[in-house]
Amino acid sequence: MLASAPFWHRAAEWVLRALAASAVVAIILILVFIAKEAAPIFYSGVVRSEVTLAKMFVPQLWPGYDESGSVWQPVSEIPKFGIWPLILGTVKVTVVAMAVSVPLGVGAALYVSQYARPSTREVVKPIVELLAGIPSVVLGFFALMVMASWFQNLFGFESRLNALVSGVALSFAVIPVIFTLAEEAFGAVPRSFVEASTALGAARWQTTLRVVLPAASPGIAAGVALGLGRATGETMIVLMASGNAAIVSASLTDSTRTISATIAAELAEVVFGGAHYTVLFFLGTLLFLATFAINTVGDWAILRMKRKLGATT
């Protein structure tokens, strides 16, 4: 037996392990500490005198209103915390963003992986990744100062800032996410698939649409899921470009407000520990759980793709 390693060589492993566990600790702390600030909504008498879960989710008949509705007016004389305008707003903006970014992201990835020359690919990929490097506050700024005016001049929207403008701006942040994963998925399709299809007499478009695309679909699904997670939680773009009116409306051209933007816009002005503060942390917890679920599906899809394609190569 050789001289055994000094004690601290082995101690180093324990230090590394402890530091590595910090990622686990971090994610648990995040959930615990936002849930802790949201929890009084379930037991605190002071908070519950203003807001309960039922009051948030069930439309209420407020004094001065003709019919019952879900209203978000947290700083009016009678604070109203109806959550549906915010959920509807988040869904609207996210749907617009995905409707733009899925075709563009997947289409661009298809071109880069199937049609572009390798030299073009080497140039285009880093450029699209630069789009991912643009800070979201810059995209929000661009949507607010420039794009909103263009859209208004083009389509004559009543409100300059609306779900459509912020959704399109949001798609700029989502496109690189989908593009990167879709491109990787197309690239991971084994050559033997393509060769077999061609040998059977399939035309190129048939091979692309009926062999390559289905084989890459778990990876594309993963990209779409991660993009969806990003779109749901993204804050600065929607905060700056959506107009922030919490109204119940199905129209994409109305000013709208999302859950994330509500937290960002209102938290700075609330009383610590008050009903409004508690509700905003409750919204944060919802957002965390929603994105956690979406991302878990995405990660699962990535794993499945790797396993599926790995088994055949």
Partner 1 sequence: MTASATTDVEDRHKLAQQLAQRTRSNLLADRTLAIASGVTLLMVLLILTVILADVVRNGAPRLSWAFLTEAPRDGMTAGGIFPAIIGMVEMVLLMTLAGVPVGVATAIYLHEYASPVSKLTRSIRIAVANLAGVPSIVFGLFGLGFFVQFIGSGIDKTFFHGEKIYGQPALIWAALTMAILTLPVVIVATEEALRAVPRELREASLALGATKFQTVFNVVVPQASSGILTGTILAVSRGAGEVAPILFTGAAYFLPLLPKSLSSQFMTPSYHVYVLSTQSPDVDATKPILYATVLVLLILTFTLNVAAVIVRARMRRRAGKIA
Q: d(Cα 216, Cα 237) in Å, to the nearest integer?
A: 30
CB closer to partner 1, 58 vs 123: 123
Handedness of CA 292, 295, 297, 302 (dihedral sign): negative
CB closer to partner 1, 51 vs 283: 283
The piece of 44-52, 67-75, 91-99, 202-210 that touches partner 1 (CB under 8 A) is 202-210
Q: Is 251 exposed, middle or buried (0-12, 13-18, 19+ CB in 10 A)?
A: middle
Residues 28-87 that bind partner 1 (CB under 8 A): 29-30, 33-34, 36-37
- Selected from 181, 287, 301, 309, the binder of partner 1 by CB under 8 A is 287
The piece of 45-53, 56-64, 188-196, 205-213 that touches partner 1 (CB under 8 A) is 205-213
C-alpha closest to that of 167 among 150, 181, 148, 146: 148
Residues 159-198 that bind partner 1 (CB under 8 A): 172, 175, 179
Q: Does 209 bind partner 1 (CB under 8 A)?
A: yes
Task: Provide the mask over 217-246, with x wherever binding to partner 1 is found by CB under 8 A and - wherever it is not.
Answer: ---------x--xx-xxxxx--xx------
Q: d(Cα 56, Cα 54) in Å, to the nearest integer?
A: 5
Q: Does 128 bind partner 1 (CB under 8 A)?
A: yes
List, in order, residues 6 or more apart from 50 with CB less than 8 Å away. Answer: 79, 81, 275
Cβ of residue 282: shortest distance to partner 1, in angstroms? Answer: 10
- Selected from 114, 217, 251, 253, the binder of partner 1 by CB under 8 A is 114
Q: Does 1 bind partner 1 (CB under 8 A)?
A: no
The piece of 50-58, 62-70, 90-98, 265-273 that touches partner 1 (CB under 8 A) is 265-273
